[in-house]
Structure 1
Amino acid sequence: MHYKTRHASQTMLGSSIINNRQHVGLQKLSALAGVTHSTLGPNKKFKFIKDDGSGESTLVCSCFRILENIEATCAVGQLVHETIQAHQRVYHTGSGCLLFLAGAWSRAALECLQQGISVAHIISAMSEGLDICFDVFRKCSVSTEGLCVEQLESCTATYHAVGPQLPEKPVMETSQASYNLQSSTQVGHKTLHASGQRKLKLSRHFCEVKSANVCTAPQPHQPEIPDIVHIAEGLRHGRVDAMNLVVEACRLQSKNNQQDISCSTFDVTKVVTCVLPGLPEDNACVLPGCIVLLSDEQASLAHQLEEQPLKVALINGDLSETYRHLGLNRPTGIHCVSDQSHLSGSSKEEGWMGKVVTLLLNLEVNLILVSGLVSEKVSQQCCRLCVLVVEKVKASILNVFANATGAVPVTYATQLNKHCVGVGVKVAIWRDHSSFDRKPSTSVNISTGENSELVTVILTSCLDGKLQALEDQFWACAYRLHHALKDRVLLPGAGVTEMLCIHQLKKKADQQNGDSAQQTKAATASNPYRGVVLHLMADSLIDYLSTVMVNTGKFSKVRARTAVSQQLKDYNQSLGIAAKFSQLCLDGEQEDSTTCKPMKSSEAPPIQIYDNLSVKQEAWRKALDLAFLVLQTDAELITGIDQKSDDAQGNLMLL
């Protein structure tokens, strides 16, 4: 259940001082980002969002859910909401990092403007800073093939003061993530023009750019099998129970596919979640097949159809007379007036219903799976015809049933014919939950055979409001593992990658002599404020790390920044390739409550924490793009644009 908080944006922004004569958009973006600071890191805090109008509230513990449950009342709020939604749909994790950095880099841009630095110089230098960070990503990444603790340590140890070095195995040349990074100068959303300005793909929705996997040629050696359990352990980020369910789902999926758990793929599109209120959380489990909850009336019909071979129809959309796919949606609020009573809405619905019923009877359909919603009249009519209708089935699950049964998904029920109906589906009653919930309900398992890769994760809680958070945590862990196996590379986690980026940004900002002196002088000549901007970007990353450390409850803000600064100082003073950054105390599983102490020889080695390369790369890119869009919009509103001016394009970020 979601409740919108009225005028939440003004309430949040009211705690920040807004100077209306300066870049208001950047200030609002920074203020919005501040609302979600408590969601960073593994120790997320639950929060209640209360609706000022109705008094109802909802429980949230993630950046995405906070923004989903507030009403954006300004253009910046809408842009932030759409950006986070677009990122969440693809990656299901990293939204908090995205929004924090967008706010932090907005503050950095504001400080640059206050120092008299032009918009063009800010964009040029920050774009270079992001490219420096992406270069760090590429050089410190770790292959998932035969991943072990020593490999991660070797990676961070070899990134010394002279410059980063690749691990012995050329991991990035054979990964899709490498392709995305190395081809960043060819794709539209992060290209630097000859003028040094950042070019953004014109899209309010920050669409993803799909790249083909560069690894098409056969490899000269047999790749080592990645240790999925070890990878999952490093990617759980404090969510132990959720990641254990992910590993079990991966194991069950591999078993049903007659493979071993060590297989290098995890198909999240064939995983379903089913939430059951009223049961303790330790009742969560993983089962084969697609388990869904049914009402009392549907459950009695399922009992009649149990263990019978059923004919199935697949509807990719809503099952109602008024539904139109996205290309034919009718505008709301418009009513057609006619003297012909037989064209009224009720008559049209009855005629449509009769046509659908006739089709279902002729085709002998027993089961309809619908990706959207089903109107109440249709559901009741189908029950009377002994046709079980299940709504809100994921589109990817429809595809699984289509491949297994031969059914063809259609957009409208009136498109059904004998070639669209599939066979071979069975329904089995799994459990009656009427004693645990206020509403009578029964869960059934819909399957297509013993070797189906469909897996359902059952999530339970005695608190109804917590179920959404538990489901979000599971999907975050599932997609982390999915992207890790898809990218075939990982980044050192617990702040190590950020520390390497901070080091490189500060090094590039301060670099005046050495092998790259000529190149540095040329860059400084073209942008005299380069060093200032890069330092501010590095400070933003320090702010990010210190905020995550504070959220663990082990550090104050001052002590967190001191710890980060001390690591940077120790790293800069170290000699030889033994210099490395240690993982900061960012994981909620660590027991030390004061500081990061060295491990005793008798202790078990600490859990190595990893981050997803593709997720972090995309979150940072979107964060800077978001800050740039607001920065340029503010500049246009304040100064205005003279399209006839010769240097109009030179002072703007190209879209």
Structure 2
Amino acid sequence: MLGSTILKHRQHVGLQKLSALAGITHSSLGPNKKYKFVQDDTGGQSALVCSCFRILENLELTCAVGQLVYETIQVHQKVYHTGSGSLLFFAGVWSRAALECLQRGISVAHIISAMSEGMDICLDVCRKCSVSAVGLGVEQSESRTATSHASGLQLSKKPIVEASQASCHLQGTTKVCYKTLNAIGQRKIKLSRHFCKVKSENVSTELQPHQPKLPDIAPLAEGLSHGYVDAMNLVVEASRIQSQNNQKDISCSTFDITKVVTCVLPGLPEDQACVLPGCVVLLSSEQASVAHHLTEQHLKVALINGDLSETYRHLGFNRPAGIQCVSDQSDLSNSSKEQEWMEKVVAILLNLKVKLILVSGLVGEKVIQCCCKHHILVVGKVKASVLKAFTNATGAIPVSYTTQLSKHCVGTGVKVVIWRDLSSHDRKPLTTVNISTGVNHELVTVILTSCVQGKLQVLEDQFWACAYRLHHVLKDKVFLPGGGVTELLCVHHLQKHAEHHVKHNGKKNGDSVQQTKAGTAANPYRDVVLHLMADGLIDYIATVIVNTGKLSKVKAWTAVSQQLQDYNESLDITTKFSQLFLEGDQEDFLIPSLMKTSEAPAIKIYDNLSVKQEAWRKALDLVFLVLQTDAEVITGIDQKTDGAQENLMVL
């Protein structure tokens, strides 16, 4: 095997760094996340963080592995806004598993092959144990197969907020048909420094002939809160307001996160957080005076897609990702060219009778002052989704430059209402206004407040995590039993496949080559690798239990091992991990017990199917990329060596 002898004497530094970097996630798992201060030794500044993504964002990662990890987490966070801690944790435990395999003399090719098969097993378990969200609130009826005895779960009907009474309470029975396990070795591994989004494999659902039943948001939200009850209450309220304002789709089964914005207000207690229809923004004292003048009037609005400045130039319709708007005060000096441009802009706005301008980019201070003199309100850094919502509601057409404005581009029917004056809560005078169209406006603003200004970012992250969990469940129309149930099932199936491999090789004709479904030769180290992957899943469950403060790490491992042993020794074939329930209240997170009666228990914690699958995929791809890069650095690539190409994976 290529490099098997060399690897025993040289260390895989990349895998070690990946494992060490994953250690920062341990306190970020589970419902009881711990706050941390990240301090800059040079400047003395500090940041309050409570998630894996924010920790990495505030660290100075100089090594290549650190940059690779941050890019991976950044891409995942941008799409899902949750699951980053699990992603990095599994990248750490599976990198340790790969190191253990290397120390035992297992080649890189065999490690990648066996771990890929293990990932296929875990993804298949996720598909099989997923529960349909259609007809939520009624005992589900699911198909049973010889390999997986999936049963229905009676879900909690307890509403998370009183306002959820307006949600749809529909009944129905759903039959979920699961896909069979893909042939081993058919999983296509994409290794790249930039992890592209992989389309999740959806669970096919077969509905009864009658009208499809829509899920009830309240029990879904309760199970997806993961300890963020207050944040999820705001999400449910935002969904309720959207459903009321959206006359095209009065169902409560949709939650459009693109039409939700957040507004953080320092100085107010956290219990004053609320949800309002419309777009709430913070204004300076000059802008506030203009807003007072325009209040309750029907205004004409102009939408600018870009910066509102004389020096701005459009970057093209395919704008590169990751570009941040940065202003240079030196470029805003008094000049005749800039003054002429501002006079021209004001003349156009006055001619079109525009009183409100929403800008997606930056707005110069002098431009704001010039517009305020003519009672024109300018709001900068507006999200693109907000511009789109105002486009649909007012008929306005976004333009890149003010010189492109015409009467056909201007929208009508916008109102500006003073919501709250926060001058007494901050040193700087600050006013919040609500900009809306009044009728059928789907935009919703979530007001987040805190007396601790450093905590506002944490509260905003928690809200978006809950919002995206609910969004993806409603989009996938399925969810996973949480509280470690899915991970326990994966551990059981990994161990089962590993033991089957050992028994097969122990037969008299064990020297015969075993064939997989894909027709390739069996991996002789398959059982070892699968057991190590299962240990990583057990370590994840045990770590979350430890973070609850209920058990130590040793006792947590013992509890999980006992669950697996009880399941394996059970004579009742209908007993399964999908029937685990949580003892005590929700704070006793992840302390499961086997069901003792035939009645299905209430499961209080749910996970996202697509988020969990994608986090696991990215974690393993990250391990593979670092593993092979380390191997190439240590051993080199000798084209003349026999079997060199067989032990390398093309990136």
TM-score after normalising by structure 2: 0.84
Partner of 2:415, secondary structure, is strand
Name the SS of the counterpart of 2:222 in structure 1: helix
Amino acid at match of 2:84: S
Q: Deviation per CA, 1:430-470: give whole Å up to 9, x if none.
A: 11111122221111110012221111111111111111111
Matches within 5 A, 1:206-355: 206-209=195-198, 220-258=209-247, 263-326=252-315, 346=335, 349-355=338-344
Q: Report how far residue 374 of structure 1 moved.
A: 1.7
Check if 1:461 corresponds to 2:457: no
Runs of 5+ unmatched residues, structure 2: 1-7, 153-172, 325-332
Question: What SS does the corresponding residue of 1:272 show, helix, strand or coil?
Answer: strand
Residue of structure 1 aligned with 2:37, choices 32, 35, 48: 48
Residues in 2 aligned to 1:313 and 1:297: alpha-carbon distance in whole angstroms: 20
2:612 equivalent to 1:623: no
Q: Does 1:447 align with 2:436?
A: yes
Q: Distance in 2 between matches of 1:631 and 1:86?
A: 21
Partner of 1:357: 346
Structure 1 residue 111: deviation in Å?
Answer: 1.0
* Count of residue correspondences: 602
The residue that corresponds to 1:171 in the other structure is 176
Residue from 525, 548, 552 that aligns with 1:552: 548
CA contact (8 A) 2:481 2:578 kept: no
The 3 A distance-change label for structure 1 pair 644 and 261 is farther
| Deviates further, 630-639 or 370-379 | 370-379
Look up the match of 1:575.
571
Give the distance between the partners of 1:526 and 1:415, measured in 2 at CA: 66
Distance, in Å, in 1 between the alignment partners of 2:603 and 2:278 is: 33
Mean alpha-carbon deviation: is it higher for 552-561 or for 217-226?
217-226
Structure 1 residue 200 and structure 2 residue 187: aligned? Answer: no
The corresponding residue for 1:409 is 398
Who is 2:27 aligned against?
Answer: 38
Is contact 2:295-2:416 (8 Å) kept? yes
What one-letter code is carried by the residue in structure 2 that aligns with 1:295?
Answer: S
After TM superposition, give the deviation of residue 325 of structure 1 in Å.
4.8
1:461-514 deviation digits (Å, cap 9, x = unpaired)? 111111111111111111111111110000010000000001111111111469
Greater displacement, 429-438 / 292-301: 429-438
The secondary structure found in structure 1 opposite 2:554 is helix
Note closer, same or farther for the CA distance 1:170–1:582 as it changes in structure 2 (3 Å cut).
Answer: closer
Equivalent residue, structure 1, for 2:162:
none
Query: Are 2:425 and 1:420 equivalent residues in the alignment?
Result: no
State the partner residue of 2:372: 383
| Deviation digits for residues 533-574 of structure 1 (CA, Å, limit 9, x no counterpart) | 111111111111111111111110001111110000001111
Amino acid at match of 1:200: K
Identity of aligned residues (%): 71
- Secondary structure at 1:449 match in 2: coil
Contact 2:175 2:208 (8 Å CA) reproduced:
no
Q: Which residue of 2 aligns with 1:530?
A: 526
Where 1:521 maps in the other structure, the secondary structure is: coil
Question: How many angstroms apart in 2 are the aligned matches of 1:570 and 1:300?
Answer: 70
Cα distance, 1:448–1:593 mapped onto 2, change above 3 Å: closer
Report the counterpart of residue 468 of structure 2 in structure 1. Answer: 479
C-alpha RMSD over aligned residues: 3.6
Match of 1:121 in 2: 110
SS at match of 2:514: helix
C-alpha contact 2:149 2:576 (8 A) present in aligned 1:
no
Q: Return the alpha-carbon distance in structure 1 between the equivalents of residues 30 and 338 of structure 2.
A: 51
Counterparts of 1:374 and 1:541, CA distance in 2? 49
Q: Which moved further from structure 2: 574-583 or 249-258?
A: 574-583
Name the amino acid aligned to 2:395.
G
Matched residues in 2 for 1:321 and 1:371: separation? 15
1:562 aligns with 2:558: yes
Which secondary structure state, in structure 2, belongs to the residue aligned with residue 528 of structure 1?
A: coil
* Residue aligned with 2:302, SS: strand
Report if aligned partners of 2:305, 2:399 keep a CA contact under 8 Å in 1.
yes
- Greater Cα shift, 162-171 or 582-591: 582-591
Cα deviation for residue 357 of structure 1 reads 3.4
67-76 or 359-368: bigger deviation? 359-368
Relative to structure 1, the CA distance from residue 263 to residue 595 in structure 2 (aligned partners, 3 Å threshold; closer, same or farther) is closer
Q: 1:555 touches 1:594 (CA, 8 Å); kept in 2?
A: no
Please say if 1:610 is aligned against 2:606: yes
Structure 1 residues 144-155: aligned runs within 5 Å: 144-148=133-137, 150-151=139-140
Query: Quick one: which amino acid aligns to residue 239 of structure 1?
Result: Y
Aligned residues of 2:38 and 2:58 also touching (Cα < 8 A): yes
Segment of structure 1 superposing worse, 349-358 or 294-303: 349-358
